[in-house]
Structures are given as structure tokens and as C-alpha cells.
Chain A
């Protein structure tokens, strides 16, 4: 069973709307949680990274939250743009730090 589960699997929204993506994880011991954006045919690009003590972190129109007690995270995208169409991947690392555990991603499509 994958240690990082994401929902929904895919999402279609209209340009300008907001959306929230979910991530549940069972990785233990926990080191940090990252959200990546992966455009088709490209490598993942980091959006945010949060450690155990951080509850929220923003990067422009992206805001990530973390509840380490319930092992849940969310990524909120505000005022979506067409260029936001991509796969958004939740990634959790253990204390060792270097081996990342990837979710399967949420495929987001923003339409005009």
C-alpha cells in the first residue's frame, strides 16, 4: 500500500476558481512534507516544504497546510490560471531525509 495517498485523482476547474487538493500519509518517522508541481513531460518542481512544526506555508497563489497529528496535508490554489494545469504531487520524507515517498498526484486541468 502506498504510504502517501492523494485525492482527488483528477480535477477540472474553471479559470479563476479556487481548489483544494488533499494528501494523507502514513510515512513514519516523519521529516518533512513537500508539494511538487509536475508539468507534462517535465520533472517535478518544488512548491512548498513543511517540517513537523509548521502548519501552513504559502508560495504565491499556493498555500499548503499540514496537520502532523492526523497526518494530513492540503494544497489550496487561489484564482487558478490556465498554466496551473499540471499534476500536483504530495511527497513525504522520513528522518533519513533523502528517500522521498511520492503520492500518485492529482491531475488538475484549468479550463477557460
Chain B
């Protein structure tokens, strides 16, 4: 079991471009969570998804950010028209049941230049 796989590990985007972050959950895990870690800050909850459903997106900015977890394929966190303040580490976690047995990926480090 390869664990939670995130790619890319590092992503550099110019202001105004789009960033797409991918997360493949552990085998058998149908619950996916995205967290953001700003420099010198703790991880902050963004969104919780199950297959084809967004359960809770209360931590995600209302504009420019979206997330999906399709029936087939990885979960995608999409950031449109990136700004410098979006530079952060984005972590994905998955679990077999809601809130139980969390496993985190290694994160994607987004740098907006």
C-alpha cells in the first residue's frame, strides 16, 4: 500500500495562473480531507469530500478555490488565478471512515511568483 499520494510535490505558478493539486487516497479509503499550512502556522482544515460529494467546505475560500473527488481518479484541489498569498503547503489526508484512521500525504508545496 503506497499510502496517500500527492502530486506534484512542488509546484511553481505565476500570479494569475491555475494550480491543480492531486491526491490519491490510500486503498480502501473513501474519505478525503484537504488542509493548508501557511508558513509558521498550523494546518488549517479546508474541505472534506467523499466520492462525488463535498461534505464540508467551510474552511475553503469562497472564491478561486474548488475541490472534487470523482468516482474514478484522484481528488483534485484547484486554485484559479493564484496570488502570492496562496503560497503554502497543501496536505491531503484520507480515512476509511469519517474522522477515523487519518493518514496524511507528504503534501504539495505551492509557490506563487
Residues of A at the B interface (CB closer than 8 Å) are: 2, 4, 31, 41-46, 89, 93, 96-105
Residues on B with beta carbons closer than 8 Å to the beta carbon of A98: 31, 33, 48, 55-56, 95, 98-99
- A102:B42 contact, CB within 8 angstroms: yes
- A102:B44 contact, CB within 8 angstroms: yes
Query: Closest residue of chain B to A6, judged by CB?
Result: B42
A97 is contacted by which of B44, B93, B99 (Cβ under 8 Å)? Answer: B99
Contact with A along B1-26 (1 / 0, CB 8 A): 00010000000000000000000000
Query: Closest residue of chain B to A94, judged by CB?
Result: B99
- B43:A100 contact, CB within 8 angstroms: yes
Q: How far is the CB of A56 from chain B (nearest CB, A)?
A: 21
- B48:A105 contact, CB within 8 angstroms: no
Known: A89-B42, A98-B33, A98-B48. A45 touches B104 (CB 8 A): yes
B102 within 8 A of A: yes
Known: A89-B42, A93-B99, A99-B48. A43 touches B59 (CB 8 A): no
CA gap between A4 and B41 in the complex, in Å: 12
Query: Closest residue of chain A to B47, judged by CB?
Result: A99
CA gap between A17 and B10 in the complex, in Å: 36
Residues on A with beta carbons closer than 8 Å to the beta carbon of B107: 41-43
Residues on A with beta carbons closer than 8 Å to the beta carbon of B45: 99-101
- A41:B104 contact, CB within 8 angstroms: no
CA gap between A102 and B46 in the complex, in Å: 12
CA gap between A43 and B105 in the complex, in Å: 5
What are 6 A-B interface contacts by the 8 Å CB criterion? A96-B99, A98-B33, A99-B48, A99-B58, A100-B43, A100-B45
CA gap between A70 and B40 in the complex, in Å: 27
Residues on A with beta carbons closer than 8 Å to the beta carbon of B33: 98, 100
CA gap between A93 and B45 in the complex, in Å: 11
Please report which residues of chain B, range 19-39, place their CB below 8 angstroms from some CB of chain A when the two chains form the complex: 31, 33, 35
Q: How far is the CB of B103 from chain A (nearest CB, A)?
A: 8
